[in-house]
Amino acid sequence: MQDKTITNALLQLRAQIIRSGLDGLDHVEALLIARGVDLQPARKPYRPRHGRTYARLLILDAVRSGPLPGRAIASYAVARVPQDALRRLVSSALWKMGDAGVLVRNNGLWRLAK
């Protein structure tokens, strides 16, 4: 086996131990230090907390009470999850749901399609 393969396997094992809270971190780090590896903090994988599905659920929840303009729907969503990116996600999801026939837009107001 090549040295870099062993080092990469140990780094992956270290990351898995840190993320899962398993035992044996001291042993893996000792092996990495013995191999001369500079230990950096393990990065957590990027997982968006609120994705498109969540935005669609917020939209449906907002328009159940009646027709609303897009800005009010986005404000409704941001009031529950304060993220600026969510406002853009809601806007995109509104138009996609409109194209799919789930929502209808009349005079700037979005409502559920019947």
pLDDT tens track for 74-110: 888 888 876 666 777 788 888 899 999 999 999 989 9
Secondary structure class of 11 (helix, strand, coil):
helix
Query: Per-residue pLDDT averaged across 17-35, rounded?
Result: 91
What is the percent of the chain where pLDDT is above 70? 87
Q: Quick check: 1 pLDDT over 80?
A: no
Query: Per-residue pLDDT averaged across 48-55, rounded?
Result: 69
Matching residue, tokens 């086996």: 1
Q: How many CB atoms lie within 10 A of CB 20?
A: 7
pTM for this entry: 0.46
